[in-house]
Amino acid sequence: MKLRWVEKNSPAELLLENQLENRPLAYHLAELRRRVLYVLFSLGISFFFCFTFGADQLMQLVTSPVNQLGISLIYIGLGEALTAQLKVCLLSALILVLPVVLWQGWLFLKPALYPQEKQQFFKVALIICFLFILGVLFGYLVVFVMAVTFFVYVGQGFATPMLSINDYLSFLLGFVLPFGLAFELPVICYLLGKAGLVTSASLIKARRYIILGIFIVAGVLTPPDVLSQIMMAVPLLVLYEAGILVLKYTEKAAASR
């Protein structure tokens, strides 16, 4: 993990740089392995508590959109109900352990960062957590609930809904996780801008191609229906424009220094 040379470094920072440069690759791999083990251990603990103490509450929360419509979910395989609970608890554990992932990443990168970079890392990490949780909540509370209501309404009058819990959860995960990842688009634009790979002007110039790409990505990530694709593409377009605004602000701030 090699540090960049900065003329204004203090003697202590220069000494730290030399120490890090002289450390073998095996040291960094061992440190990375240790951080990954901490994350996996935290994930296991979170999953244990979710499954042991919160499985029923989580399943009630997940199935509430169809329960409110008077529809009861069914399972057609002996292990399907258990598998559904495991999936929901694992997803909940992944969301809960996200701060731990960022914290362990911070501890791994901290020796190679300067004070200003450490402040930026904290800001970006907090924004990543916030946007991911916001995307998950938006995907579930807004888009998923609207989609379930729409599809049940369309089928009324000529068919009786008998929804499998496994298919229902697959449909749910097709909304929640992609929205959580999609809401990181402004952060991705910011990081690419800091790396000098893109500028606000280049993103504006490529807007028509990005719009096409967003609809393609929405078609791949969401369940195969037009409504779901549009409901993901529209927030992505808004987030893309937000990424352009973030880059503009960053460029102005850099130019004023």
Region 192-205: mean pLDDT is 84
Region 64-86: mean pLDDT is 86
Backbone angles phi, psi at 235, to 5 degrees: -60, -35
User: How confident is the prediction for the chain on average, in pLDDT?
Assistant: 81
- Give the pair of three-digit tokens for residue 98: 């996200």
Backbone angles phi, psi at 219, to 5 degrees: -65, -30
Residue 39 has pLDDT above 60, yes or no: yes
1 or 203: which carries more pLDDT confidence? 203
Helix, strand, coil percentages, rounded to 5, for the chain: 80, 0, 20
Q: Which of 64-68, 93-97, 105-109, 227-231 has the lowest mean pLDDT?
A: 227-231
CB 236 within 8 A of CB 183: no
- Among candidates 89, 102, 87, which has minimal Cα distance to 38? 102
CB 91 within 8 A of CB 43: no
Q: State the pLDDT at residue 6.
A: 43
148 or 119: which carries more pLDDT confidence? 148
Strand partners, 164: 74
Q: What global pTM score does this model have? A: 0.74
Give the Cα separation of 133 and 139 in Å (integer): 10
Q: Which of 4-18, 129-143, 242-256 has the lowest mean pLDDT?
A: 4-18
